[in-house]
A and B are shown apart, each in its own frame.
Chain A
Amino acid sequence: MSTVVLLLFTGLGLGALYFLVAAGLSLIYGLMGVLNFAHGAFLTLGAFAGWEVARRTGSDDWGIFLLSLLVGAAAGAAFAAFTEFVLIRRLYQRHIEQLLITLGLSLAAVALFDGIWGTDPVFIQGPAWFKDTTEIFGARVPNDRFVCIIAAVLVLLAMVFFLKNTRYGMIIRAGVENRSMVTALGIDVRKAFTLVFTIGGAAAGLGGVLASHYFGYVSPMLGGSLLIFAFIVTVIGGLGSLTGAAIAAVAVAVLQQFANFYLGGTGDFVVVLALALVLLFRPSGLLGRTS
C-alpha cells in the first residue's frame, strides 16, 4: 500500500512537470500549428535563472524559493516572447519552417547554456522542508512532490480562468478551433500568438525551477529530456486541449512510475507503447479535435 501511494505521488509530481511543459506546447500548437522544439530551452533557461537566484542570494529559505519561481517564469516568458516576436512571426503560416526555426533555436540555446553553465549538472538546494517527508497512508512522500503538484494545479486553474473569462482567452479558444475565422471576424490574431507563447514560456520556466528541485539538479539537457515526454503527453491528450494535456500528463507520469517499479524499469517503453495504442484507436488523442 505504502509503495503504491509513494509511486502515485511521485507520478503526480512528475505529471505536474509534464503538464507545465505540455500546457504551453499544446496551446501553441492548437492555436498556431507550431510544434515548438524550443520549449525545452525555455524550461532550461527558467531552471538556470531560478538556480542563479538561489546561488547569488546564497539563501535557501521560502522567500528565495518563491522569488526563484517568479524569476524562472519571467525568464521563460521573456525568451518565449522573443522567440515568437522576432523569429516565428516572420514565417507566418509556414508551419514547418517555424518548426525548423525552433529546432535551430533549441540547438543554439542548449549549446549556449553549455558554454555559460557547463555541461555537468549543478546541484540545487531548496528550503529544508523539501527534503522532509510527509506520511500519507504509511508512505513517506518527499515534500517537493507536493510543491510541484500544487504549483501545477494553480497554473491549470489560472489558465482555465484566463481562457474562460477574458476576451483574449475567448480569442485563443476560438483560434484553436478555427484560426482563419477569427481573423475573418476582424480580430488581429497575432496578438494572441505572442500571448500564448508568453504564457507557455512562463509555465515552462516555472516548470524548470520546479523540475530542478524535483530532480535535485539543473543541466542544459534538463529541458530536452522533459520535452520528449511533453510531446507524448500532448499527442495523447489531444493537440490544442489544455484539459487533455492535464489528464494525459498525470496518466503518462503515473504509468511510467508504476511500470518502472513493477515492470523492471520499463517506464519509458510503456509510455511509448501507450502512445502507440492511443494512435491506433484514437488518432486525435483523448480530447483532441477529430481531423
Chain B
Amino acid sequence: MTTDTDASGVNSAGTGASQGTSTPGSPAGLRQTAGDGRSAPPAGPRLTRRRILGAAAGLAGVVLLVLLPLLNLSLPGVLPGPTYTPGSLQLLAMCMLMAAAALTYHLLLGVAGLLSFGHALYFGAGVYGLAIILQNLDIPLLPAMGLTLLVVIVLAHVVGSISLRVSGIPFAMVTLAFAQAGSVIVGRNPDGTTGGDEGLSLRTENLPDFLVGVVNTRNLYWLALAVLVAVFVVVTWVQSSRAGHAAAAVRENELRVRVLGLQPYLVKLLIFVVSAVLVSIIGMVFLLLQSGAVPRAISADLTITLLVMVVLGGVGSRWGAVIGGVFYTILDQRLTTLANSDAIDTLPDILRIPLSEPLFILGTLFILVVLFLPGGLTGAAQRLAERRNRRSGTRHSTAASREILEESA
C-alpha cells in the first residue's frame, strides 16, 4: 500500500484491485499467472544450504540451553548470577516464554498481517483459566490444562469471527476492545474468582511435585525451553503449510486469493485461533513459573509488549521474534535493577527521572528502532552482513518487513 489512492479507504478496492489483478508481472507473458511471485521465492542451492546451516545452529543452541542449568557460567550485566542459580534460571525461563509468545504474535502480524491489540486476552485466558480451574476443581494438571484450552478455543473463535469482519486499523481497535473487556472482568473480580488487582496465587495441591517450589526452577526452565522449541516448530510448520502460504498471500493481495478460490476470512480465522491457542499454552506455563496470576497478564500492556518485541526483532522474521523477546525481557529486567540502583539516585532530576523509568527508555528505544532501524535487530544484522558481502540480488529483510507493515494497514 504505497500509493496515496490505495491507502485512502474509498478508492482502495477499485484501483488496488484493477492494478493488482491485471498487471501483476512485468512481461506480458506472465500477466496471466494468478500465483504469487513473492511468497514463493525460487529456492536456489544457496538458500537450502543456509537453511541447513540455520537448523544446525539452532540445534546446537538448543543443546547448549538444555545443558545450561548444569553449568556454572556467569554473564555479568545480563544475568543476576551463575546459570545454575534459580534467579538466573527464572529470568531465562521468562525469556523463553516471552520469546515463544512473541513468536505467536509473529504468526498474526508477520504471517497473516493481522495487527491484533488483543493477544493478551488469550495469554491471560491461559493464565487465569488454569489458575481458576486449579483453584476450584479437584482435577490434575493435564485435564485442567485441557479444559482451559477448550475455553480458549471457543473464545478465540467467537472474538476472531467478529473482529475479522473488519481489517487493518479497525481490526486493531476491535481486538483491543475485546481484550479490554477481558481485562475489566478480571479487575472486577466477580465472586472473588479472579482476585481482582491482587491476582490469584497458584494452588499447588494437584500439581506434580517436580513443578513446585524454588528448588525445581530448573524443571520449569526446561519446560519453558520445551515450550519455546515446540512453538517455534509449530509456527514454522504453520508458516510452511498450505494455510500459511495462503495467509501470506492474503496479506499481500486478498483479492487474488479470492480469485484462487480460497476464503481469506477462514484462512485468517485459522491463523488467529492457532496463535491464540499457542499463546494460551504459554500463559499456562507462565502461571506455573510465576506461581500466580496477575492482572498484567491479561492487560493491553502485555499485547503492546509482544508487539514491541516483534518489531524490535524485525517483523516477518521468526528469529527476530525470538531475539526481540529475549532482548526485551532481559533489558526490562536490567533497567529495573538500574532504576533502583544508588548510581541513579544521585543524579540530577533531569537525568534521574527518565533513567529511573524502564518503560521510558524502552519506549524511546522502540521509537528509534521504528524510525531508524526498519527491519529491527535482525534487519540491521542482515544489512551489516550484506554490506560485508556486497552481494546484490538478495532481498532485504528491511524491505520485506516494511511491506508486511504496509500490507497490514
Contact = CB atoms under 8 A, between A and B. Distances in A.
A109 B361 CA distance: 10
B406 A180 contact: no
A115 B360 contact: yes
B19 interface: no
A106 B5 CA distance: 29
Given A112-B354, A114-B357, A228-B177, A104 B7 contact: no
A279 B166 contact: yes
Contact of A108 (B2, B304, B360): B360
Interface stretch (A57-65, A69-77, A146-154, A230-238): A230-238
Interface residues of A, number: 51
B367 interface: yes
B409 A96 contact: yes
B357 A111 contact: yes
B184 interface: yes
B354 A97 contact: no
A5 interface: no
B12 interface: yes
B371 A93 contact: no
A131 interface: no
Interface in A93-146: 93-97, 99-101, 103-112, 114-116
Interface size class of B (residues with CB under 8 A): 35 or more
B126 to A, nearest CB: 20
B353 A116 contact: yes
Given A103-B307, A178-B10, A235 B367 contact: no
B366 A269 contact: no
Nearest to A275: B177
Nearest to B300: A228
Interface of B: 1-5, 7-13, 115, 162-163, 165-166, 169-170, 172-174, 176-178, 180-181, 184-185, 188, 300, 304, 307-308, 311, 353-354, 356-360, 362-364, 366-367, 370-371, 374, 402, 405-406, 408-409
Interface of A: 29, 33, 35, 87, 90-91, 93-97, 99-101, 103-112, 114-116, 177-181, 183, 228, 231-232, 234-235, 239, 265, 268-269, 271-272, 275-276, 279-280, 283, 289, 291
14 contacts: A33-B409, A93-B7, A103-B308, A104-B370, A110-B359, A115-B354, A177-B8, A180-B3, A180-B7, A232-B177, A235-B173, A239-B170, A268-B181, A269-B181
